[in-house]
Structure 1
Amino acid sequence: MKVAILGCGAIGGVVARSLRDGEVPGAELVGVVHAGPTDPPDLPVLGIEAATEQADLVVECAGQRALAELGPSIVASGADLLVVSVGALADDALLTKLRDTGPGTLHLCSGAVGGLDVLAAAAREGGLSAVRIVTTKKAPTLVQRWMDAEQQERIRSTAEPVELMRGPAREVTAAFPASANVAASVALAVEDWDLVEATVVADPNAPLTSHVITAEGGSGDYRFEIRNHPSPGNPATSGVVPHAVLAAVAKLARPTGAFA
């Protein structure tokens, strides 16, 4: 399976180099689509058209805006698309384009969060009455451009945990695009954006990035806690994410003998 990577940062760079070095049996890197001012010297760089012509699978590691801009043309070209920035799929029109237009197939990466298979099964069996996710990260990584100067300084200087936002997953994902993809993943798993309540907490003393998911419904009660080390290349994301991407690529390249 020939693979192109969209984005070459803390996630895409790790994925591309692992594929280049033959670490995923059955998958071969054809190149990276890179928008930065300086191309990575150790990786082949392609334009988006060349990437979709050469690749069986394009892996999006470039953020929600890049997915919205380039995703529809990727699946329209016939290449499959593996999405990391699932928060962009809060836009129903974009999700429909990527999922239903084709001929390429849309795949989603679980990224930094687990338990999605159980939540999906519970939602299908007896329905869920409540789903919540609380994400806690080091405070400076949660500063956003839309915040005013006073709020930004409050987050940077806080000595105690501060709840920054609580609301429907769709709203929280839009407000924290680099940090709340996990909330979008949960909403997509249970197929109900309005049911999932998401909370973002800035904690200056948080040693790890934490996601606590709770759910109640007809099939049972569930609680998952995920605590990830931040990525050394980008503390706003978890270091496990590129390896979740590589695991997803491996399943697509050789789908037998793995959990679906």
Structure 2
Amino acid sequence: MSQPLKVGLVGWGAIGRVVGTALARQEVADAELACVVDNRPLGDAAPAEQVAFEDAIERCDLIVEAAGQGVVREWGERVLTGGADLLIASTGALTDDELAKRLLAAGPGRVYFTGGAVGGLDLLQAVRSFAPLDEVRLTTTKLPSTLEQPWMDEELLGRMRSATGPVEVMSGTARDVPARFPKSTNVAASVALAVGDLDAVRVRVVADPAAQLTRHVVEATGPHGAYRFEVAHRPDPGNPATSQVVPYAVLRSLAAIAGRSGQIL
């Protein structure tokens, strides 16, 4: 690129701070942090000017969402129709079929999503192009406190809080689960997007008081073979609902978009 990619970062939390700091230090070739959007006054905490969302769209080539599914729903189309590209970290928002269709149809900006805390998505995409998968299963295991939700009844909350071993919190499809755990199960949506079918991915969410590491196990089978991916990440100390690796997945995606040579795609 003749000019660096101007990046607007939405969210200055556990993910945004790492991504924004790396961009400000010019750790991503051909990309620079142009501005930060956040609903809190950041003062000198951010290494770039804090602006309104509308201003970010006007001045940036790429908007990076690191602030939750609500941002994608409220601003996704406006980013794309305004001419900027959009990189989504909160992939759970794309389990809304209507929203996903509108984003894919919008333009001239392009929409990307990052795999976040799970691997093997590139292989699942390749496999599905060869032949449909017969079965895809994801099991996510986290500390009980990171999985508590307002919709849970007292019986379930009590079982989670008093658990001495693993407790299944929810079982469903990748369409259902991310909507019920908007900050904790974006991995389910990422796997489903790679597979190309939200209803084909069966998801189990497990609370385990011994889960010092957040664990995701993906199992898939088809006429072409069988696949199993397992990852175990340290939770972010400031926001245990997300893994420490997620901002680095965002940075890798940024480097690919900016055109870094030698990138594994």
Superposed pair shares fold, TM > 0.5:
yes
Letter in 2 for 1:116: L
What is the letter of the counterpart of residue 207 of structure 1?
A: Q
* Cα distance, 1:50 vs structure 2: 0.8
Matching of residue 96 in structure 1 with residue 98 in structure 2? no
- By how many angstroms is 1:127 displaced? 1.3
CA distance in 1, matches of 2:231, 2:254: 22
Match of 1:177 in 2: 182
Aligned counterpart for 2:204 among listed residues 199, 210, 221 = 199
With the length of structure 2 as denominator, give the TM-score of the two structures.
0.95
**Aligned equivalent of 1:140:** 145
TM-score, normalised via structure 1 length: 0.97
Amino acid at match of 1:175: R
Task: Answer whether contact 1:173 1:183 (CA < 8 A) is retained.
Answer: yes
* Structure 2 portions without partners, runs of 5+: none
**1:8 alignment counterpart:** 12
Aligned to 1:123: 128
Does structure 2 retain, via aligned residues, the 8 Å contact 1:127–1:219?
Answer: no
Contact 1:6 1:58 (8 Å CA) reproduced = yes
Measured in 2, the distance between the counterparts of 1:91 and 1:256 equals 34
1:41 and 2:44 matched? yes
1:12-63 C-alpha deviation (Å, 9 max, x unpaired)? 1111111111111111101111012x32523221111110111100000010
Which blocks of at least 5 consecutive residues in structure 1 are unaligned? none
Name the CA distance, whole Å, in 2 between partners of 1:179 and 1:42: 26
Distance 1:157 1:58 in 2: 42
Higher deviation after alignment, 157-166 or 208-217: 157-166
Aligned mate of 1:61, from 43, 62, 66: 66
Q: Distance in 2 between matches of 1:156 and 1:178?
A: 19
Runs of 4+ in 1 over 4 A off after TM superposition: none
Q: Which amino acid aligns with 1:18?
A: A
Q: Is the 8 A contact 2:171 2:203 kept in 1?
A: yes
1:76 aligns with 2:84: no
1:31 equivalent among 28, 35, 38? 35
Q: Does 1:243 align with 2:245?
A: no
Q: Say whether the 8 Å CA contact 2:141–2:206 is kept in structure 1.
A: yes
